[in-house]
């Protein structure tokens, strides 16, 4: 039948802000107990510091999961085998998703969930700590980038809010060229809005027609004949 297994790795030494190059879980075969066919789904828990696994009902199934990948492992062979056949597909996308969470920092815990049918026997930490599953992650630390004010990894990056000093504009933001640019406020105070002088409006007076915004942003209509 279908089974759900949790694998929690404590003390994952990946720092905040890391870019994940590759990631996989390496198992070591524990014997000849293969049951085919094997259809597995692997995901990570979306938690910046995964809590320990407990015996509480639905502890694993109730955890928030990342996008999944499928895995159809080949036969594992005899006990002690720990090669490509006993290795998951690349998990870098889901690991990156966890590392990008607010609150992630080096030495936090990650938890992975494996769901499916069939069987491959692997050593657990309780069976043999030396042959326990290993989480293998390769990452890089990107160079700091100056923001639009020259501060390394500062908050004033393109797209971030700024103030262009012009009271006639709103929604000011840093452009890709690091220029602080705002959109012209229309007559209703909307940045880049359509209520500009000459455009239609409603002055609320039933005795007027052809209401329009004038140059001073007053909504004025002509008196009905």
Residue 161 is predicted with a pLDDT of 98
Average of pLDDT values for 5-22? 96
Average of pLDDT values for 159-169? 96
Q: Report the C-alpha gap between 66 and 15 in whole angstroms.
A: 20
- Burial per residue of 112-130, b for 16 or more beta-carbon CB atoms within 10 angstroms, e otherwise: bbbbbeeebbbbeeeeeee
Average of pLDDT values for 99-118? 97
Is a pLDDT exceeding 80 seen at residue 158? yes
CA dihedral 115, 117, 123, 126 (to 10 degrees): 60
Would you say 153 and 161 are in contact if contact means Cβ atoms under 8 Å apart? no
Q: 80-98: per-residue pLDDT in tens?
A: 889 999 999 999 999 999 9
CB atoms within 10 A of CB 213: 20
What secondary structure does DSSP assign to 103-125, as a single string? Answer: T--TTEEEEEEEEEEEE--B--T
Residue 31 is predicted with a pLDDT of 82
Q: Please report where in the chains the tokens 């992975």 appear, as a residue.
A: 112
Is a pLDDT exceeding 70 seen at residue 108? yes
Is a pLDDT exceeding 70 seen at residue 39? yes
**Run of H or E including 92:** helix 92-99
Q: Is the pTM of this model over 0.75?
A: no
């Amino acid at each position: 039948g279908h089974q759900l297994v949790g694998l929690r790795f404590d003390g994952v030494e990946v720092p905040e802000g890391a870019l994940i190059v590759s990631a996989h879980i390496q198992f070591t075969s524990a014997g000849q107990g293969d049951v085919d066919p094997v259809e597995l789904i692997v995901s990570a828990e979306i938690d910046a510091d995964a809590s320990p696994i407990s015996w509480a009902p639905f502890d694993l199934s109730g955890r928030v999961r990342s996008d999944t990948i499928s895995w159809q492992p080949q036969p594992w062979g005899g006990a002690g085998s720990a090669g490509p056949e006993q290795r998951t597909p690349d998990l870098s996308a889901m690991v990156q998703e966890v590392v990008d969470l607010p609150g992630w920092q080096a030495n936090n815990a990650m938890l992975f969930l494996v769901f499916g049918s069939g069987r491959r026997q692997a050593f657990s930490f309780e069976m043999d700590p030396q042959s326990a599953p290993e989480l293998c992650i390769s990452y890089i630390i990107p160079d700091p980038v100056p923001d639009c004010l020259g501060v390394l990894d500062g908050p004033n990056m393109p797209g971030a809010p700024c103030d262009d000093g012009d009271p006639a504009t709103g929604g000011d933001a840093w452009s890709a060229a690091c220029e602080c640019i705002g959109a012209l406020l229309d007559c209703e105070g909307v940045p880049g809005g359509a209520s500009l002088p000459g455009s239609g409006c409603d002055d609320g007076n039933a005795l007027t027609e052809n209401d329009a915004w004038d140059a001073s942003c007053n909504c004025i209509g002509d008196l009905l004949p």
